[in-house]
Structure 1
Amino acid sequence: MRNRSLLILTAVVTTGALTLTACGSRDDDKKSDSGGGKTTVVIGIDAPLTGSLSALGQGIKNSVDLAAKTATKENVVPGVEFKVESFDDQALPASGQTNATKLVGNKDVLGVVGPLNSGVAQSMQGVFERADLTLVSPANTNPALSQGDDWGSGTKKRPFKTYFRTATTDVIQGKFAAQYLFNEAKKKKVFVVDDKQTYGAGLAAIFADEFKRLGGAIAGEDKVTVKTTDFAATADKVKESGADSVFFGGQYPEGGLLSDQVKKAGANIPTMGGDALYDPAFIKASGQSNDGDLATSVGYPIEQLPTAKKFIDGYKAGGYKDPYAAYGGYAYDAAWAIVQAVKSVVEANDGKVPSDARAKVTEAMSKVSFDGVTGKVSFDEFGDTTNKQLTVYTVENGAWKSIKNATFED
């Protein structure tokens, strides 16, 4: 799926954020009535705003809203007011595809931030590609989204030129998790479970391959179903396998329950997962102590970064009800990348938004580069972030605590 990375806000949010410019008036359109005769430019949002993953989705929505308001307040683009239009995908691919069609239908939308889930992104990409509309995910981690279905065999081909992301891929996260569990946590026999979804199954497979390459053993494997609450059968398999750890490819609602039931089955071993486990709700889902459980996440902890201070302060001042959560910093940077691209397009068109702005914004995204909340924001030839910083977290005294920050090197 998903989860995070944060680093250099000072340079951009004090300089980049102050110098970013986006749009003037569209060549062939009248100015929207947004007050003061300003032109309205919309940044779309797609995320799960209701349901079990809504805490993450609301954090994404609010962070994009903050970026839009900041750009307008600081007059980043003279004569332009940035607004947002958000849609709830409920973590369902079909809903995401419907939302994509709606966003494409609004001519003022020049870029979209989202979605949270890789499976939802798969359903949306074709819609945005046909409309030349940029999509920037702050959370997707499945490699196939940007490198094609044959990426695992070494054949990488970008499927959609409109797709970008500010979160690193599971190729990096899965290997990073395996290396930590084997080399530093000293676990040698892991039981691997996944939720059969695009994100979870992909992450688990990459983790397992790397763990075996390092010399570790796979004690067993099993699959569970999303929204299931009874994992007793899987927990018994874990106990009987003699595994010294569990790796779960999936999200926190199921992950927390799995960890709980593994311990209730008598296997007092840690459960590890990816960024989709790194949320307080993972701990709340378990009736047993989660101390010792592990999760990786993209990027460094935002609260530890002085460069993220303006974002954190701005979020608090914004009065948002929900926390920015795991992907807030990435969502802000995704929105700011769109603003950067629009700025480039407008400057090349005498201060106006051209009639083919969407296509030109997509083209400009490949050249975007700035110091953001999550670190250096730029994209490679596949649209993937160039930022490869990751963190390992553990549960300690009922709360997540970072225990390792590193830049991944294969």
Structure 2
Amino acid sequence: MRTRSLLILTSVLTTGALTLTACGSRSNDSKGSDSSSSGGGGSNTTVVIGVDAPLTGQNSATGLGIQYGVKIAVDDANAKHLVPGVTFATKALDDKAQPATGQQNATALVQESDVIAAVGPLNSGVAQSMQQVFNSANMVEISPSNTNPALTQGKDWASGTKTRPFKTYFRTATTDANQGNFAADYAYNSLKKKNAFVVDDKQTYGAGLAGIFKGKFASLGGKIAGTDHVNTGDTDYSTLVTKIKNSHADMVYYGGQYDESELITKQLKAAGVHIPLMGGDGMYSDTYIKTAGQAAEGDLATSVGVPVDTLPAAKDFINTYKSKGYPGDYGTYGGYSYDAATAIINGVKAIMDANGGKLPTDARAKLVDAVQKADFDGIAGHVSFDQYGDTTNKQLTVYQVKNGKWTAVKTGTYNG
């Protein structure tokens, strides 16, 4: 990895405090950090937005969508001079979908004085390892994809006792409390499925989502034909396939990522078990269809928000993503990543406007309050946060693989 050159004339970091003054130019680092010069001369402050996601290996297709969603937002802000006197840049770190690596990345980001906030991570389990680090540094963290309810509402959320664990943590994706119920309602009432076999990957996101689906499906009158667990990274699902086949289930619900579900459905269909596999947003990726091939036909996934390619506000974003040839899947979280970065950019402008056009010495802490007050129309929907740091945008969509493509079959909110 090449080393970036960075000139910072004055930069002091203490816990919860950030001082940034006139900065020089920054070279581009194609393996992590990007920047767009605002051009011209004079004093300029470089403000960095950190990005954490799996950029290689498992889950990297969606992780790269997060990285480049943020980059496009930063490039747009610089081109439009949204914050006079500031050039925004990004620093992207690869957590490889591993909690320990995510925690190391969070620690690295808070120690860099020019990093004012972070977007990410992709995985809820990784987020659990990062929240305390960012909170201790009074640094905003906005995930475009974490959906486990406990991250914002505390471990007792299911019993109705909701307590926000970290004031610095926000998300632009709605929670699994909505997604799992939405999926179960669709499976039972629209697909008319009555016997579901439920599988999860034992991870925070997957197990949590599967549990919510299971509870709702059963409450509607559905039968849980069986349950099982897999390990991330598994490739042979013959034992699981046999269990599903013997259960006489009419569908499979999978809580986890596409890396495993794409192989499960392929092996299931190869064994002659032609029932749909349904999952959550962790499964909604073009990579799922590419790997599973014809076996994916008829499978379903829920994902947060409205299909981004149907939103007029996202047209320029999609065109830019495609024209630049950026890797990864922008359709899952790219729009929410752009909006998360925009919330940070807008927040920086707000705290500077309140400080005579200069970045305050306690910029990180002030940015937390500014992001909490976010209220704007993003490219993926309206952006604002409730008292827990959760998005107020509760839109969800059910997609089904039809003719080799994810096709939206229902969009709405869960009201149950």
TM-score under structure 2 length normalisation = 0.90
Partner of 2:380: 374
Indicate conservation of the 8 Å contact 1:272/1:294, yes or no: yes
Indicate conservation of the 8 Å contact 2:302/2:397, yes or no: yes
Q: Of 257, 262, 274, which aligns to 1:256?
A: 262
> What is the count of residue pairs matched by the alignment?
386
Q: Of 53, 73, 79, which aligns to 1:67?
A: 73
1:138/1:65 Cα in 2 relative to 1: closer, same or farther (>3 Å)?
Answer: same
Partner of 2:392: 386
- Identical columns (%): 57
1:182 maps to a residue whose letter is Y
* Alignment partner of 1:184 is 2:190: yes
Partner of 2:90: 84
Partner of 1:324: 330
2 CA distance for matches of 1:81 and 1:316? 24
* Alignment partner of 1:42 is 2:33: no
Indicate conservation of the 8 Å contact 1:289/1:398, yes or no: no
Indicate conservation of the 8 Å contact 2:300/2:398, yes or no: yes
1:83/1:267 Cα in 2 relative to 1: closer, same or farther (>3 Å)?
Answer: same
Q: CA deviation at 1:305?
A: 1.3
Q: CA deviation at 1:264?
A: 2.5
Q: CA deviation at 1:88?
A: 0.5
Give the secondary structure class of the aligned counterpart of 1:395.
strand
Higher relative contact order (CA 8 A, sep 6+): 1
Residues 11-410 of structure 1 aligned to structure 2 (within 5 Å): 29-34=20-25, 36=41, 37-286=43-292, 288-410=294-416
2 CA distance for matches of 1:225 and 1:353? 46
Runs (4+) off by over 6 Å: none
1:310 maps to a residue whose letter is D
1 CA distance for matches of 2:274 and 2:141? 43
1:246 maps to a residue whose letter is V
**Is there any run of 5+ residues in structure 2 with no aligned partner, and where?**
1-10, 13-17, 26-38
What do the CA deviations read for 1:368-400 (whole angstroms, capped 9, x no partner)? 010001100000010000001111111112221
Q: CA deviation at 1:284?
A: 2.6
1:32 maps to a residue whose letter is C
What do the CA deviations read for 1:6-37 (whole angstroms, capped 9, x no partner)? xxxxxxxxxxxxxxxxxxx9995431113633
Indicate conservation of the 8 Å contact 2:293/2:404, yes or no: no
Structure 1 window deviating more from structure 2 (202-211 vs 277-286): it is 277-286
Indicate conservation of the 8 Å contact 1:114/1:139, yes or no: yes
**Is there any run of 5+ residues in structure 1 with no aligned partner, and where?**
1-24
Q: CA deviation at 1:317?
A: 4.1
Structure 1 window deviating more from structure 2 (68-77 vs 287-296): it is 287-296
What do the CA deviations read for 1:272-299 (whole angstroms, capped 9, x no partner)? 0001111122123326522111110111
Indicate conservation of the 8 Å contact 1:66/1:318, yes or no: no
1 CA distance for matches of 2:155 and 2:371? 23
Q: Aligned Cα RMSD in Å?
A: 1.5
1:29/1:65 Cα in 2 relative to 1: closer, same or farther (>3 Å)?
Answer: closer
1:355 maps to a residue whose letter is T
TM-score under structure 1 length normalisation = 0.91
